[in-house]
Amino acid sequence: MNHRDAVGGLWDEIGELQLRFLVAQGLEPGHRLLDVGCGSFRAGVRLLRYLDPSHYFGLDANAGLIEAGLKHEVGPEGLLERLPRENLLVTALFEAHRFGVLFDVALAQSVFTHLTANQIRRCLVELPRAMKPGAVLWATFFECPEGLPEEQPLRHEPGGITTFLDQDPFHYREEDLRRIAAGLPWEITKIGAWGHPRDQRMLRLVRAG
């Protein structure tokens, strides 16, 4: 499996979708952005062109994907000078505070879809330590709608992805995610559909001041 397939394919379609969405929601070149689960930079190569140099940061649990993305995507696009190596972090614990900066925006595209509830909780515990008051985390998830039994597999259209209560890829109800975030400094709004080709839904989480 190559580095594009490893992050789910649809490289151009989803990469462009993420950039367009963030810009439409107010992302500015001068913002510092954290790409949670940056992988091989499907969004990253586009965000690197848009953001001011050194304003894109990425973290991922898979060092091999980061290296493949640098070699096959960021480098050939002539973007390495805009991405210092210290702006990248290999971690499964979401320790964004280790960058030593405060972020204006964070993006977790197709991250919660692969995490257990406890792992999502870890993410939501860690990220506020590295985000400004009022900063926004945009996070996608596969939704199990009210009225459907959450313990049964759920097929999502478009895209044909089947999700599960207790195995990857996971689905959640909105109330599940609110419960996971309980007691943490987040104000949560469900955006819902945002044009994702595999029916992932969007959450807006504002870092409370």
3-state secondary structure 151-190: CCCEEECCCCEEEECCCCCEEECHHHHHHHCCCCCEEEEE
User: How many Å apart are CA 157 and CA 145, to the nearest integer?
Assistant: 13
Residue 6 pLDDT greater than 90, yes or no: no
Is residue 14 helix, strand or coil? helix
Radius of gyration of the chain (CA): 16
pTM of the model: 0.96
pLDDT (average), residues 164-187: 98
pLDDT, tens digit, for every residue of 131-173?
A: 999 999 999 999 999 889 999 999 999 999 999 999 999 999 9
Distance CA 100, CA 174 (A): 32
Residue 1 banded pLDDT, cuts 50, 70, 90: low
Rounded to whole angstroms, the Cα distance separating 139 from 110 reads 8
Placement of tokens 């309980």 in the chain: 182
Query: Domain residue spans in the chain?
Result: 3-207
Domain 3-207 in this protein, CATH class: alpha beta
Spatial contact of 25 and 60, defined as CB atoms under 8 Å apart: no
Q: What is the mean pLDDT of the chain?
A: 96
Provide mean pLDDT across the span 47-75.
97
Helix/strand/coil for 176 = helix
Tokens of 131: 């985000």
Tell me the H-state helices in the chain.
3-6, 11-24, 44-50, 63-69, 117-126, 174-180
